[in-house]
Structure 1
Amino acid sequence: MHDHENSERLASYADVLASELPDSWTSAYHPPEHKDNLADLADRIWDLDLVAESLAQNPLQQAAVLSRSDGAQLAVLHRHDERDGFLIAAVAPRELPDEAYRDIREPNGIALTDDPFLGAEQVADDLLARYDIALAQARHNAAQGVQPSQANRVVLTWQPDGGLAASPVGEKAASVLAANGFVRDSAGIYRLNGDDTLTQARAVQKTGQQLDVLGIDTALQHPSGRIAPTASPAVAPRAPAAHASATRTR
């Protein structure tokens, strides 16, 4: 059953948060009935860490979207770990091509205090600065038609069964992948199954962190759009967590 008290709390929090952020922001609340809007939003959440891990365990049921006049958007979500406060994540513009996001570090979301005034300070001092940099880079790539370098980069590609395939893989990267549950198949491709989305999310998060230490970027790639395992109760709604130099590829 829909929890109206929590819905009102989320919508109210987002309204105040929008009014306190730098520049001009508006807030729109999406209840569970807005299934198409929520599916589109979950598809565009630009995060491979805290928020992605939350979504892997709890498909998006409601959200508030903060929008700025230049097209920037932030998604405010409930926390599901029995802590007070909310989560907030950057939202990737739908109009940019897939290639624009390559080699750009994810502007991963953050946890917010349940005080929206303090929350606005957190967003302005942390997430918003990183989001603006990532947005500028993605828009520049789109405008210039930049084809980013593939050097020192491991691409994780979603498979139809919800698993991930990794390539290209050098010796150092292969060791990290194998240590985190990726299995090399007969064609030399390292694969991670998606039977347990939480385990998968944590494996990708650790992989990204360990590869970053080695100076190797991690990119998630979705061949037919940003369609990581989605909206059924047993499957993660979007990309799992991967800290470090992960990049968003739609």
Structure 2
Amino acid sequence: MAENMSEELQWRITSFFNYWRERHAFIRDLDFSKHSHEANVLLWGELDQLSNLWAGNIGSKQCGKKMGKRNIFDAFLARYGGELFQLVSLPDIWNRVDKGKAADLPENIRTFLGTVGGRCTPTVLQEQRVRCSSEDWSLDATITRTLANYPEMDRTKLEEWLTFSRYGAIAYKQMRCAYIHEGRPGKGTHSFKLHGFAERPTYRSAIYATPPIMGFDIEFMLRVLGFCIDEFEADALALQADPVPE
């Protein structure tokens, strides 16, 4: 037990997270070949619920009162979901620039972001090669590279724009929202069991193709959910913060 923590508080914290582990186990034990829809609805709903509970408690300082639900979801995964959720999808950035969704950024920044990460006209072989998450950059690396070229750019504004291309934000739109509101995955995702599907998000689009098609397999996301529960609990215990809503 953490120093000076009451037994009651420790019980409340551990009981709270054991409840979410039971929900996790229920999803894990489903037959995904028959109940993929139900598993995804439950999993993405659970991540959404945990992220909002976190934002209203331990994560309140980081999230603030004005942060939207998509950004809260992304911030939660970036904190607890592992290094992969530090990444931004470079093809998503390119696509947003191409579609005119960077109008609030200066023209020189838009031009830079439109080719950041070595985007070029693909060769025939590149058009046939599927992109891998290892070819994407972290949010911090993308910001650092941009500011190295354009130090006058406001970092906060740049970060706010880039965050919508981070993996967690993409998952929120393509998986959480699509399943909860439409009962199906989004048009920008896929359910193919591509190489490494249980260890990371996978692309079903070519290395430079836009818009990207990204998959977040249920087996991979179950592991992520487990990480989030464990790490959220560790924070609650270390901070002696009761995560149970009043």
> In which range does the TM-score fall when normalised by the shorter chain?
0.3 to 0.5
Larger Rg: 2
User: Which of the pair has the greater relative contact order for Cα pairs under 8 Å at 6+ separation?
Assistant: 2
Higher strand share: 1
TM-score (norm: length of structure 2)? 0.32
Higher helix share: 2
